[in-house]
Structure 1
Amino acid sequence: MSKVRAPQSVAPDGKIHDRLDYLFTEEGIPVPGDGAELVLVDLGDHTIKYHKMVTPPVQVATRRGDGPRELFEGGEHMAIGDSVTLYFSGSDTGTPAWQVPLNLPNGLALTYGQIVALGGDFYGIPDKPISDGATAAERIARFSAAFNSLATLPASNKEAHEILQVMQVEIDAANQAINDGLPAHEAYDKLGDTLSLKWNVITGGGPTGIPLGRYLKLAAVNWDHFGSWAVLAYKAGHTAALQQAIKAGKSGQRQDLELAYAMNAFADHFLSDLFSGGHMRTPRKQLHDTVTSGFVSSFLSRYMHDEDCKFGLNVNNTQDDNWHAYGDKRYFDTVDVGNRNRVGFIVQSSVDEVFESFLYGTAPTPDEYAANSLLPDLQAVQNHLSTANYSPLFVAQGSTVLRRQNINDLNDRHWTADWWGATTLALLKASYNPNKPIGYLEPPTVSPVLQPNGWQSHTPSPPNWVDGNAVRYAFSYTSGLNESYAGPWSAFVELQGSYFPTLNVPEDPSGKASGRNIFRQFRNTPPTLVGSVARGVTSFIDRQN
């Protein structure tokens, strides 16, 4: 006999509010007779993911004389933003963004990376997505309103600090996983949606997700973060930032250039989203427009989003650059190092255009933005008939969205228009357990072995190759653009008079791998890719400082 569970809340007008998840549980959602109105709430698909690991407010160091800071402590989106260099004059040699407070009109002083992290997910106008603007001018106006919700509202000063303080939980968990030699995404998986509920409260909602705060309202209509819609949102914000940079050049006031950088940081949130596999081909907007319940479409998008983030996608750009892009929760995983480098490069290019507009008083047109040639080719990655990637869960075709016939077979290249949102969601919740895509490489089961007599130097080389430090290694299998996760780490070896070791790196016993990537980790630092070996080679010398 099924248990009876009370709804989460009943409003004064008699409306029953409950979470959509409970529709698919044994208890269900009790509805007291005909005529009752049920309001369903979900947690959206912007929970613990690609861009939520941000440090809390800190005293920003002076530009000179401060020691180095490990970027992994800033998290995903914040690390992307804070890894760039900012310039303020033609003779300026540049300053790391994490050292520069950008002062906003309402008194907030945030780093570039903090604004990247807050933009779009926490601040914006829920009923006015930027990309829904009918013209470029309207999209710029919508972007300005979204940015001003962070930059000009007095209430945002206190609220933003509270949001960033909650994010410290993610930082600590991810840092601990990295230091333990585990993939950072495992820490995010353990956190689940717990922080989302706290952010919902901070932004005006309830502790159970009911009522919706701004955070969850934005998540419910967040196609600004996906595919071509993200391109429109970024270009609107980048255009506004360039216009502000030109004004700053005329005024000569640093605060005006800081505002231009802050606007661009908000826009770069959408730009950096386009390097997350789950944001490239998920038809977020089309699912919302074609599925009866907006919340059902949000859940369906989340399944595809998480699938593409987990397994990643092979992508390319117009410069004939090819790579594999993982997604949310995996920015610091060893498999995503190539994607991590590329998103850092494109965000720096975006920042450089702001400074050049400030310096020279002119701005490129949207067709001339550096991002155009550096972004993944969305048309190519969204081509469901291409065998470059496994089969997408959903495919947009005009006003119709097709679904993969076998939800659990990533290699099933058959799609159907004969499906319903609610029944598909029930099927996913009950039995979703996808197989591995073709070309998937299982990680090694062994670690590299350090040769006792293979040390190449007996001269310390600061800052890492010094007595008292310790080092360990792991490796992954590679085959073209495909790469496995790293296998187990070797034990830490204490450094004492010997440095730069020689490793024995076993080959793939299955014969699928054509090479191996070698990763090094010094004690209390994040892992680093230090080299590769091809098939047939089992010896590797670590020569990197």
Structure 2
Amino acid sequence: MYFSLTIKGFEYAEHSFFGNAITLTLSDGTTQLAKDYPFKLSNALNLTYGEINGLGGDFYGTNDPISDGSTQEEQRSRFMAAFKTLADPSGLQPGEALAILGALQEEVDAVNEALRKHEDPSIAYSKLPADEWKALQKITSWRIVYRLGPTYLGLAKINFDHFGADARTTYNAGHAVAIEEAVKSNGDLDLAYALNAFADHFLEDSFSAGHLRTPRRDCHSGWMVNPWPDLCAKDMHDEDCAIGLSVKNPKGEAWTCYGDKRALDNANEDNKNRCLAAVQASADEIYNAWKSKQKPAAYKAWDHAPTLESANASTQVLAPLFRLNNGTLERRKPITDRRKWEFIASDWTFAGTHNECMGSHWWDYPITIDGPTWLLPGSSVVSTTPSSGKCCVYYQDIQGGIRQSAHDGAWAASNAGMFKAKRFTPLAVITWNSGKEIRIYCLSQDDMLQEWCYSSANAQGSWYTGDLNNLRVRGAPNTSIAAIQWKNGSQIRVYCQESTSDEIQEFCHDSSWTRGHILPTARTGSTIAVAGWSDNGIHLRVYYQAPDLTLREQCWDPSNWYAGGFSTDKVPRHSSISAIGWYNSGVYLRVYWHDSSQNIVGYEWKNGSWVSAGTVLTLLPRGTRSSIIQWDNGQRIRFYYQARNNDILEECNDGGAWFTGSVVATSS
């Protein structure tokens, strides 16, 4: 039960990432990354800016919330008292802080490994044990004996300082204390930085969606035997963090803000960068105040942060689970209709609400706006056309199974996974002999490149593993896969990045599987797309994102590989790329990608030059995976992608403008 009360801001690893990623200007005028500059506290602890940032508030504080201070002077006094629980000598320090950091190391390692693999850390968080709080509570329980303030769970129970306007009050108090130290004639710059690192924890909380509009004080009980209000606060917090809110800063810049466990996800990159800019501005103000001995007129960090007004706007797609309406706490009437702005002020209880939330399974990982889904959010989507007018689309379900939707007059989806792969695996598919032969390429749980085969000649009618598996290729955990075949499957090419290199490796099947050419280095985790045509031999075009974030082309004409003429300006990291090609008295190519405005745009090669192919879709979420196919020499083009509600959708072009096609697979 108590575990559910640990309503935190960003997780420790996320807070420490933000704090350690900034640059500090030291007293001699040199600069150093915060992660490489430990501060020696008065109790002999040596902690970096990020470590202080991560420990502040969640693990160290007093029984007196800082934002409860009736005056600015009292708020600053309370902040200093909270900081001293970490920094001053006591009967527990420095051993207690070191023990806490040791208990948190599993989380830090999991997040760092996900970042190393260029995977979303939220996936790593979903796999961590749910009882981490027990070790942290045990470590901090000695505070009761020494009368040194609240334990880990005790702080979580009264963590008002991390939410809404209270978080702003708390940061302002702490930042002011740090500036006061900096402007002293004998001010200690390192101490001022350490104080500010503690304060920045609450600044960062103001970039977490679950901390912007949750009415934390109204969802609270002072009685430990009545945890239901606090549990309901966590329910709303978790929902907002996972699904995200549309926000604006004071300059009117708009973006989507996610929260705890998603701070370092690809979808949160815009919000992450704005948070980093705010933390950097906060630290820079400390140095400037120390150098000039003058206080800033205003705190620049707030120029970057979401406004509470934008987070609480009634234009949000996600209706709040709770809201204050003229001082009355109201609950969303349909708990499992997150889009419906309908509220009730009575006929509900905290206990009943929390139990309904948990019983609905709408709060199970991954939390999505339309509730539990059998389709995996963020699934790879690939497609093929076995014959004119027939389409097959492949994607992954929540259990890791690979599913198929086939269109031959109408769409029909498989009822179960045909085989399982690593969750969030990349996919590639080829087919020949009018769909009687299918090959799907993916990654296994341990990132081994896998070939799965279907052959109508197989009496069992089931999928089986292919000979490519015998090469024992370990793919990069975040690699893309592309595949193409010709001559009725007698020749196949597969492309991916391996775990040991960012170069694109080609694998060839002519009579047996062998390693082929090594193509240039791509951006780690780049999407890879391949298109081709036959004209006096096979011609191949491979598209990828280069390390400088531009899109590039490698060309195979019957005798050699060379760099092609296709290129773009910089596009977002891991931009989705898809390509098609055909020959009809000339070469035709189309390449589509996700641009910096979140639109799917394209170029086409026609009559010997690249020209714009227009826009297929607008405002697709960052990270959306897509696929494209054509038949009848480009007279019919189909584009497939996963929508915000996790459905697999289709856009069509039959020679004119793009138009919306069918729902290929529904997540409900």
User: Could you state the TM-score of these two structures normalised by the residue count of structure 2?
Assistant: 0.57
Q: How does 1:112-511 map to 2 (within 5 A)?
A: 112-125=49-62, 127-154=63-90, 155-179=92-116, 182-204=119-141, 214-247=151-184, 250-251=185-186, 256-288=188-220, 295-365=227-297, 368-383=298-313, 386-418=314-346, 419-433=348-362, 436-437=368-369, 443-446=379-382, 447=426, 473=479, 491-492=497-498, 494=501, 495=503, 496=518, 498-500=520-522
SS at match of 1:229: helix
- Kept after mapping to 1: 8 A contact 2:320/2:332: yes
SS at match of 1:498: strand
For residue 432 of structure 1, report the CA deviation from its aligned partner.
4.4
CA distance in 2, matches of 1:471, 1:283: 40
CA distance in 2, matches of 1:444, 1:237: 45
Structure 2 letter corresponding to 1:375: A
Distance 1:518 1:389, change over 3 A: farther
For residue 192 of structure 1, report the CA deviation from its aligned partner.
4.2
Distance 1:415 1:474, change over 3 A: farther
For residue 99 of structure 1, report the CA deviation from its aligned partner.
1.0
- Kept after mapping to 1: 8 A contact 2:61/2:82: yes
CA distance in 2, matches of 1:372, 1:116: 18
Structure 1 letter corresponding to 2:72: A
- Kept after mapping to 2: 8 A contact 1:292/1:421: no
1:529 to 547, 550, 573: 573
Distance 1:100 1:177, change over 3 A: closer
CA distance in 2, matches of 1:538, 1:167: 48
Distance 1:292 1:436, change over 3 A: same
SS at match of 1:537: strand
CA distance in 2, matches of 1:504, 1:448: 11
CA distance in 1, matches of 2:315, 2:221: 28
Q: C-alpha offsets along residues 267-292 of structure 1, whole Å, 9 cap, x if unaligned?
A: 00000011111111111112226999
For residue 416 of structure 1, report the CA deviation from its aligned partner.
0.6
CA distance in 1, matches of 2:136, 2:303: 36
Greater share of strand: 2
Structure 2 letter corresponding to 1:425: H
Distance 1:290 1:199, change over 3 A: closer
Distance 1:359 1:382, change over 3 A: same
- CA RMSD in angstroms comes to 3.5
For residue 199 of structure 1, report the CA deviation from its aligned partner.
0.5
Greater share of helix: 1
SS at match of 2:324: strand
Distance 1:472 1:105, change over 3 A: closer
Distance 1:157 1:471, change over 3 A: closer
- Kept after mapping to 2: 8 A contact 1:520/1:529: no
For residue 152 of structure 1, report the CA deviation from its aligned partner.
0.7
Q: C-alpha offsets along residues 33-75 of structure 1, whole Å, 9 cap, x if unaligned?
A: xxxxxxxx5541336x72312xxxxxxxxxxxxxxxxxxxxxx
Point out the structure with max Rg over C-alpha: 2
CA distance in 1, matches of 2:603, 2:88: 59
For residue 337 of structure 1, report the CA deviation from its aligned partner.
1.0
CA distance in 1, matches of 2:170, 2:128: 29
Distance 1:422 1:414, change over 3 A: same
- Kept after mapping to 2: 8 A contact 1:98/1:112: yes
Structure 2 letter corresponding to 1:492: E
For residue 315 of structure 1, report the CA deviation from its aligned partner.
0.7
Distance 1:518 1:409, change over 3 A: farther
Q: C-alpha offsets along residues 117-176 of structure 1, whole Å, 9 cap, x if unaligned?
A: 000000000x20001111111110100000011111332311111111111111222334
CA distance in 2, matches of 1:177, 1:280: 27
- Kept after mapping to 2: 8 A contact 1:205/1:213: no
Structure 2 letter corresponding to 1:131: S
Question: Is 2:144 aligned against 1:100?
Answer: no
Runs of 5+ consecutive residues of structure 2 not aligned to the other structure = 144-148, 383-425, 429-474, 482-494, 504-517, 531-543, 550-571, 576-593, 605-668
Distance 1:410 1:518, change over 3 A: farther
Using CA pairs below 8 Å that are at least 6 residues apart, which structure has the higher relative contact order? Answer: 1
- Kept after mapping to 2: 8 A contact 1:86/1:97: yes
For residue 471 of structure 1, report the CA deviation from its aligned partner.
9.5
2:23 to 85, 102, 106: 85
Structure 1 letter corresponding to 2:573: L
Match of 2:7 in 1: 46
Structure 2 letter corresponding to 1:104: L
For residue 263 of structure 1, report the CA deviation from its aligned partner.
0.3
Which 4+ residue blocks in structure 1 deviate beyond 6 angstroms? Answer: 289-293, 517-522
Structure 2 letter corresponding to 1:363: K
- Kept after mapping to 2: 8 A contact 1:131/1:224: yes
- Kept after mapping to 2: 8 A contact 1:290/1:401: no
Aligned length: 415
Structure 2 letter corresponding to 1:51: E
- Kept after mapping to 2: 8 A contact 1:50/1:328: yes
- Kept after mapping to 2: 8 A contact 1:43/1:216: no
For residue 420 of structure 1, report the CA deviation from its aligned partner.
1.4
User: Could you state the TM-score of these two structures normalised by the residue count of structure 1?
Assistant: 0.69
- Kept after mapping to 2: 8 A contact 1:472/1:490: no
For residue 358 of structure 1, report the CA deviation from its aligned partner.
0.2
Runs of 5+ consecutive residues of structure 1 not aligned to the other structure = 1-20, 22-40, 54-75, 207-211, 450-468, 476-488, 507-516, 523-527, 540-545
Distance 1:282 1:537, change over 3 A: same
- Kept after mapping to 2: 8 A contact 1:288/1:294: no
- Kept after mapping to 2: 8 A contact 1:45/1:298: no
- Kept after mapping to 2: 8 A contact 1:81/1:97: yes
- Kept after mapping to 2: 8 A contact 1:314/1:325: yes
Distance 1:228 1:158, change over 3 A: same
CA distance in 1, matches of 2:369, 2:358: 21
- Kept after mapping to 1: 8 A contact 2:3/2:131: no
Distance 1:220 1:122, change over 3 A: same
Distance 1:411 1:530, change over 3 A: closer
For residue 332 of structure 1, report the CA deviation from its aligned partner.
2.1
CA distance in 1, matches of 2:529, 2:254: 26
SS at match of 2:53: helix
